[in-house]
Amino acid sequence: MAHEGPPLPPPRGPVSTAVRAYLLDTGPLPPAGAAASGDPYGDDLQLALYLCYELHYRGFAGVSPDLEWDAGLLGVRAALENRFLTALREDTPVHDTVDDALAELLVEPADGTGVSHFLAAEGERWQVREYAAQRSLYHLKEADPHAWVLPRLCGRAKAAMAAVEFDEFGGGRADRVHARLYADLMADLDLDTSYGRHLDAACAQTLATVNLMSLFGLHRALRGALVGHFAFVEITSSPGSRRLAEAMRRTGAGPAAAYFYDEHVEADAVHEQVVRHDVIGGLLDEEPQLAADVAFGVDATGLLEDRLAGQLLGAWRAGRSSLRTPLPGPPASASPPETTDIS
Is 249 a member of any domain?
yes
Boundary of a domain, candidates 33, 56, 90: 90
User: Do 42 and 184 share a domain, yes or no?
Assistant: no
* CA R_g for the chain: 19
Instruction: List the domain range (segments joined by +) for residue 80.
Output: 14-90
User: Do 77 and 178 share a domain, yes or no?
Assistant: no
Is 40 a member of any domain?
yes
Of 62, 61, 75, 69, which Cα lies nearest the Cα of 25?
62
Boundary of a domain, candidates 42, 64, 90: 90
CB 62 within 8 A of CB 24: yes
Is 6 a member of any domain?
no
DSSP of 84-110, one letter per residue?
HHHHHHHH----SSHHHHHHHHTS--S
Alpha-carbon span 254 to 186, nearest angstrom: 10
CB 18 within 8 A of CB 47: no
Alpha-carbon span 132 to 182, nearest angstrom: 9
Is 4 a member of any domain?
no
User: Do 256 and 196 share a domain, yes or no?
Assistant: yes
User: Do 130 and 159 share a domain, yes or no?
Assistant: yes
User: Do 210 and 310 share a domain, yes or no?
Assistant: yes
Q: What's the pTM? A: 0.94
User: Do 159 and 267 share a domain, yes or no?
Assistant: yes
Is 311 a member of any domain?
yes
User: Do 213 and 74 share a domain, yes or no?
Assistant: no
CB 339 within 8 A of CB 321: yes
Is 35 a member of any domain?
yes
Of 308, 327, 89, which Cα lies nearest the Cα of 210?
308
**What pLDDT is attached to residue 267?**
73
Relative orientation angle of helices 98-105 and 291-317, to the nearest 10 degrees: 30
Alpha-carbon span 118 to 243, nearest angstrom: 9
Is 9 a member of any domain?
no
Alpha-carbon span 104 to 198, nearest angstrom: 33
**What pLDDT is attached to residue 342?**
43
Is 142 a member of any domain?
yes
Element (H, E) at 298: helix 291-317
User: Do 48 and 129 share a domain, yes or no?
Assistant: no
Boundary of a domain, candidates 55, 90, 125: 90
* Tens-level pLDDT at each residue, the chain (343 residues): 345 789 999 999 999 999 999 999 999 999 978 988 889 999 999 999 999 999 999 999 999 999 999 999 999 999 999 999 999 999 999 999 999 999 998 877 656 789 999 999 999 999 999 999 999 999 999 999 999 999 999 999 999 999 999 999 999 999 999 999 999 999 999 999 999 999 999 999 999 999 999 999 999 999 999 999 999 999 998 899 999 999 999 999 999 999 999 988 877 677 888 999 999 999 999 999 999 999 999 999 999 999 999 999 999 999 999 999 988 755 445 566 555 444 4
User: Do 163 and 248 share a domain, yes or no?
Assistant: yes
Task: Kindly tell me the burial class for residue 25, based on how many C-beta atoms sit within 10 Å of its own C-beta (0-12, 13-18, 19 or more).
Answer: exposed
**What pLDDT is attached to residue 334?**
53
User: Do 138 and 228 share a domain, yes or no?
Assistant: yes
Alpha-carbon span 119 to 104, nearest angstrom: 23
User: Do 25 and 74 share a domain, yes or no?
Assistant: yes
Distances in Å between the alpha carbon of 139 and those of 113, 234, 268, 311? Answer: 23, 14, 15, 19
Alpha-carbon span 5 to 159, nearest angstrom: 31
Alpha-carbon span 230 to 282, nearest angstrom: 14
Q: Please provide residue 338's backbone torsions phi and psi, each rounded to the nearest 5 degrees.
A: -155, 155
Of 107, 133, 142, which Cα lies nearest the Cα of 213?
142
What's 312's domain CATH number?
1.20.910.10
Structural domains counted in the chain: 2
Task: Kindly tell me the burial class for residue 282, based on how many C-beta atoms sit within 10 Å of its own C-beta (0-12, 13-18, 19 or more).
Answer: buried
**What pLDDT is attached to residue 329?**
56
User: Do 81 and 101 share a domain, yes or no?
Assistant: no
Residue 223 is classified by DSSP as H
